[in-house]
Amino acid sequence: MTDQPVLLEVNDGIATITMNRPDAMNSLDIATKEALLDAVTAAAGDDAVRAVVLTGSGRAFCVGQDLKEHIQLLDSGSSEALFTTVERHYNPIVTLLVTMPKPVVAAVQGVAAGAGASLAFACDFRLLSDKAGFNLAFTGVALSCDTGSSWTLPRLVGKAKAMELLYFPSTLSAEESRELGLATKVVPHNDFEDEVGALARRLADGPTVAYGAIRRSVAKAAGSSFEEAAAFESEMMTLTGATRDHRNAVDAFVAKQKPVFEGR
């Protein structure tokens, strides 16, 4: 199945989704977007999956829209396929990445541009190889931003810097990305897979329901008043307080033992 445009592997609670068009720098044609949506949907809905890793094969993470296919659609007058892809593909994919009740890691081993960068910004953690980088490439082809970057990017770097990066795209190095808050951590390329694996393992071994509740609380607070955010926190505290993980963790604390989380 290695010739498929997107690979999904589930192993011991960790789902690894790999965009797999290395010769095209993992650019997103329609077939790849549909396969990516299927993979993200499967990972989000699988109760056995407690952490998700999104990555790319080859030298790029994902350079966004496949412009060769884009030109073909422009030339053929296929406006429906061309201009509905945000609604049909990009929005559902990124919404699942942001809202699924489990942690998501972007393992950015190479350049991430346009929608590829936006996919990474939607994740909880962005581990970058020191050979990786980001480019908000949209205005370079006279397009607006998509895949949620108008929401995620200002929350990562602030509105003023987000506007600068979107108006005047250039490739940010891994270290520049870290300084701006776009990268959680920059890792030497030779150590990259081990670092990603260690983080994914830590997350998959953690209190999954609590992680999901925190994701929901932070997203809710972004568009709410303080009172609304605090009320939602109360709901999430009730939810997590009823889990086996909470009870087991409290018992372990009293017994001065390390808790073992089951993700429920």
Q: What is the pLDDT of residue 114?
A: 96
Architecture per CATH, 6-204 = Alpha-Beta Complex (3.90)
* Burial group, residue 88, by CB count within 10 angstroms (0-12, 13-18, 19+): middle
Give the distance, in angstroms, between the CA of residue 119 and the centroid of all CA atoms in the same chain: 5
What are the residue boundaries of the structural domains of the chain, listed by start?
6-204, 208-254
Q: Scanning the structure block, which residue is given the tokens 């602030």? A: 158
- Look at residue 80 in the predicted model and tell me its pLDDT: 64
pLDDT of 68 reads 83
Along the 264 residues of the chain, how does pLDDT read in single tens digits?
588 999 999 999 999 999 999 999 999 999 999 999 999 999 999 999 999 999 999 999 999 998 787 777 777 776 666 678 899 999 999 999 999 999 999 999 999 999 999 999 999 999 999 999 999 999 999 999 999 999 999 999 999 999 999 999 999 999 999 999 999 999 999 999 999 999 999 999 999 999 999 999 999 999 899 999 999 999 999 999 999 999 999 998 999 999 999 989
What is the DSSP-derived secondary structure letter of residue 96? H
Backbone angles phi, psi at 158, to 5 degrees: 90, 155
Of 219, 122, 254, 33, nearest in space to 19 by CA: 33
Q: What pLDDT is attached to residue 225?
A: 95
pLDDT of residue 71: 79
Cα(124)–Cα(143) distance, integer angstroms: 26
Residue for token digits 């890793």?
53
Is pTM, for the whole model, over 0.75? yes
